[in-house]
Amino acid sequence: MFGRSWTFMGHTSELAREGDVLTATIAGYPLLVVRTANGLKAFHNVCRHRAGPLFDEERGNCGSALTCKYHGWVYTLDGRLRNARDFGAAAGFDPRDYSLFELKVETWRGFVFVNVERQAPALASHLRPLDARMGARDVGALVHTDRRTHDIACNWKLYVENYLEGYHIPLVHPQLNAEVDAAKYTVMVEGSACFHSAPPKVSDGVYDGLWAFVLPGLGINVYEHGLMMERMVPLGLSGTRLIYDFYLAPEAAADPIKRQQVISTSAIVTAEDKWICERVQANIDAGVYQAGVLSPKHEAGVAWFQAFVAGAL
Ligand code: FES
Ligand SMILES: [Fe+2]
């Protein structure tokens, strides 16, 4: 599911200078994207010599070349092997045969996505439903302010199912319930995306009343002053890592109180979801529960996601 889909990597403002790199691991694939003189390139973060790592941090700058951390092979930013350090004579060895494994890379409103599958359909068609919903929001002007990660002891699909319904908000999220009108909560499914909307009830809150989810595991939480890209990454069978990247409008980004308000609001909601998802996982592990029933009024998104998983399997 993840290896065949578009993976969110970051925003072009995080890849502004030549040699800027972002990395991520998805479905076991270590990936990197780098700014070259001629735009963005993306590769498996795997050296062609003996599979060493080319870049070992989440973000940074690699200078004018990618140098393997194992034996020091040097690759140009567009992935060609420039120097096999002190390799010695080897009959038949042609550096031109050892370019990095390239990935598809495309951007949507400044956000950078990669795809392991070279034949994948264009990002624009994958994200088309988002375009209409995001409307004129100028997300291209946002700046990355913070990253937070949360580990949850549940299968990633349980977390996604929980993300895809607002039915639990009145019981699990008292503060969120006070901020948005849960009675007017709507869920809409369109192509590879699912949208939730609920009008904000307060004028000085964090939320803008729109949440989007893109298959297989990306949440886009829209705020009054920006948004948070939420990656839901499977960690094996019974663990999920949430990687939150916060992007705010420049004025909000420069205001430490606003910035903190957004982060702490999201931390509260995440702690509540972590609690319920881990309790549900434990209950499922107990083996009594086999299958339940979904509410057409509230759980259309869950049904849609389950159909996607069943189709993929
Ligand atoms: S594995 Fe990269 S130089 Fe040896
Ligand atoms: Fe929740």
Count CB-CB contacts under 10 A for residue 40: 19
**Mean predicted lDDT score pLDDT of the chain:** 94
CATH number, residue 198: 3.90.380.10
pLDDT tens for residues 148-201? Answer: 999 999 999 999 999 999 999 999 999 988 888 888 888 999 999 999 988 888
The total of structural domains in the chain comes to: 2
Kindly state the helix (H) or strand (E) to which residue 142 belongs, with its residue range. none
Same structural domain for residues 115 and 145? no
Tokens for 225? 């002053």
Q: Is the CB of 40 under 6 A from ligand 1?
A: no
Same structural domain for residues 150 and 284? yes
Q: Give residue 192's domain range.
A: 141-312
Determine the pLDDT at residue 63.
98
Determine the pLDDT at residue 184.
86
How far, in Å, from the CA of 113 to the mean position of ligand 1?
Answer: 26
Determine the pLDDT at residue 214.
96
Instruction: Return the ligand 1 atom nearest residue 72 CA.
Output: 3
pLDDT tens for residues 81-96? Answer: 999 999 999 999 999 9
Determine the pLDDT at residue 223.
87
Same structural domain for residues 108 and 222? no
Q: Which of 44, 47, 54 to mutate to test the pocket of ligand 1 (most atoms within 8 A of CB)?
A: 47
User: How far apart are the two ends of the chain, measured CA to CA in Å?
Assistant: 9
Residue 149 C-alpha from the chain's centroid: 12
**Model's pTM, two decimal places?**
0.93
Determine the pLDDT at residue 137.
74
Same structural domain for residues 122 and 158? no
Sign of the alpha-carbon torsion through 243, 261, 220, 166 = positive
Kindly state the helix (H) or strand (E) to which residue 202 belongs, with its residue range. none
Q: How is 3-69 classified by DSSP, letter by letter?
A: TTSEEEEEEGGGG-STTEEEEEEETTEEEEEEEETTEEEEEES--TTT---S--SSEEE-TTEEE-T
Amino acid letter, residue 191: G
Determine the pLDDT at residue 138.
72
* Residue numbers in the chain where pLDDT is lower than 50: none
How far, in Å, from the CA of 170 to the mean position of ligand 2?
Answer: 10
Same structural domain for residues 209 and 258? yes
Q: Does any domain span residue 159?
A: yes
Determine the pLDDT at residue 208.
74
Determine the pLDDT at residue 61.
98
Determine the pLDDT at residue 250.
92
